[in-house]
Structure formats: C-alpha cells, structure tokens
Amino acid sequence: MLRRSSPGLARRFFDNRRTFVIGTHADQNSVPTGYQSVPTVLYSSLASLTRDIDAGRIDRSVDALVYDPEHWAKTPAAEQVAPIQAMNQFVALARSQVTPRS
C-alpha cells in the first residue's frame, strides 16, 4: 500500500540492505521487484524450522531467518523455559541453510 501511495517514501525506507522484509512461509521472498531489502522468514519454533529444512522449503533467495520465541502457543514450552539454548540451536540450523549475500 505504501509503494502505491508514496513510492518515494517506500523506496527511502525499504530499498536498502538494512531493511529485512519478512515473507510468509508460502511466499518467502516478499521483497518488491527491484528493491534491495533482505528477504527474511520468521519462525516461532525450532520444529517449524526443522520441518522446512527437512522438506527443502527454504527458498534460496532468503538471506535471513529470524527466531521469535514468545510466551504463546506457537513456541513450545521447552523453548520458552530455555530460550538461550533454543536460540543457539536455531542459529546453528539457520547457518546451515542460509548464506547471506553481502
């Protein structure tokens, strides 16, 4: 919507390599054509990342994976209780899958 109503403003804030654009699991790279933003996928659990890895569902155009463990049903209780351990596991898995472009 911002690109339609104010294309200059949209480019100013979103057309750079410091902006992470979070896609959906169905449309992982939601960066607008021609923009330089970082294609990113958000995960709420290690299990969901593992499922995507095992199924080969992480798009090669994705440059970043974000782990968002919250106190909610999407994040398993074990990850909520030991978030640092879960984050370390997430980082190891993510690094095995994504090689960011510079």
pLDDT in tens, 23-57: 987 889 999 999 999 999 999 999 999 999 999 99
Q: Is residue 102 part of a domain?
A: no
Q: Is residue 29 part of a domain?
A: yes
Percent of residues, the chain, with pLDDT higher than 70: 97
Q: Is residue 46 part of a domain?
A: yes
Range of the domain at 15: 2-97
Measure the CA–CA gap between 26 and 28, rounded to whole angstroms.
6
Q: Of 6-15, 46-55, 75-84, 91-100, where does mean pLDDT reach its minimum?
A: 91-100
Task: List the alpha helices (DSSP H) in the chain.
Answer: 2-5, 7-14, 46-54, 77-81, 83-97
pLDDT in tens, 57-70: 999 999 999 999 99
Number of domains into which the chain is organized = 1
Measure the CA–CA gap between 85 and 57, rounded to whole angstroms.
24
| Structure letter (DSSP) for residue 11 | H
Q: Is residue 65 part of a domain?
A: yes
84's tokens: 């640092």
pLDDT bracket for residue 93 (50, 70, 90): very high
